[in-house]
Amino acid sequence: MFRRLKTLHKRLEARLSDPAGPGLDAPEGRRRHLLHFQLFDHAFLRVLWTNAAKVADGVYRSNQPSPARMKRLKARGIHTVLSLRGDNPLSFNLLEREAATREGITLVSIRLYAKRLPSAETLIELERLFRTLGKPFLLHCKSGSDRAGFASALYLMMIENRPVAEAARQLDWRFLHLKTTPTGVLDHFFRVYDAAHKQTGISLMDWVRTEYDPKAVTRSFKAWLAARKGIPAPGVAAAAEAVLASAPDAPANTRPDLAGPDVKVEADPEAEDRPEDRP
């Protein structure tokens, strides 16, 4: 019975998200995208829960905004939205892009992940975006817990020059971020950097450009997580663990969630004569 329901669930999701189906300009297409948005992107959970917070002056974070919330954001003075979910033909992106165009909001997207570390190139591109996006801006992922927290912490370090311990508070249980699950690899990113910084004083972006290895940090996280759960860890990432041991007070709440520098300006009210970029 459960297996059959799971199969039906997958078939319905595939049907509603089929990129070959009708788009928002057709009544049938609009209905299917709205249904997918509510049921499979869980928009119904975000009607009252926004997971919103201020990151710094002119910078805010939240979960995925609905079209109605995009209208409220514009009324509150938000000119730019940075989506950490990438550009794709799924309901949440199509509806957000349409709302941004309608409200005159500049929508920019970059692909981040909750359980996978970003490449160095993605982090470099994210810093560039942080320095060039018009303020005030809102950054968001789906739930506003992991990717939004990671990006918020990076903004505080890259732009505001805040210390790791302070920035890492953006990855916290109050935003529903969990550090001892696979999403904790984002926290470990900051833990490993903090250890390197305490040893040599290296800056975050210099570390990203010259020392950062996503695979090595991920292996180190798996060893750290196994130790936390009392599982004998094999000799993987022993060197990294030794480095971390020299910084016992390093904060345990940080995380990264990005990937490939596939930055996308999806709606730009100041460039209406330009054709909209497509993936």
**Domain ranges within the chain, ordered by starting residue:** 32-267
CA distances from 36 to 67, 265, 279 (A): 14, 24, 21
Question: What tens-digit pLDDT sequence spans the chain (279 residues)?
Answer: 777 777 776 887 888 888 878 889 889 899 999 999 999 999 999 999 999 999 999 999 999 999 999 999 999 999 999 999 999 899 999 999 999 999 999 999 999 999 999 999 999 999 999 999 999 999 999 999 999 999 999 999 999 999 999 999 999 999 999 999 999 999 999 999 999 999 999 999 999 999 999 999 999 999 999 998 877 545 444 544 554 555 445 444 443 333 334 445 544 444 444 333 334
* Angle subtended at Cα 252 by Cα 254 and Cα 232, rounded to the nearest 5 degrees: 120
Q: Which residues pair with 204 in a beta bridge?
A: none
Nearest by Cα to 34 from 87, 109, 106, 98: 98
What pLDDT, on the 0 to 100 scale, is given for residue 230? 78
What pLDDT, on the 0 to 100 scale, is given for residue 232? 59
Nearest by Cα to 85 from 76, 94, 74: 94
Topology annotation, domain 32-267? Protein-Tyrosine Phosphatase; Chain A (3.90.190)
What pLDDT, on the 0 to 100 scale, is given for residue 15? 80
- Calculate Rg over the CA atoms of the chain: 20
pTM of the full predicted structure? 0.81
What pLDDT, on the 0 to 100 scale, is given for residue 241? 53
The answer to whether the beta carbons of residues 108 and 129 sit under 8 Å apart is: yes
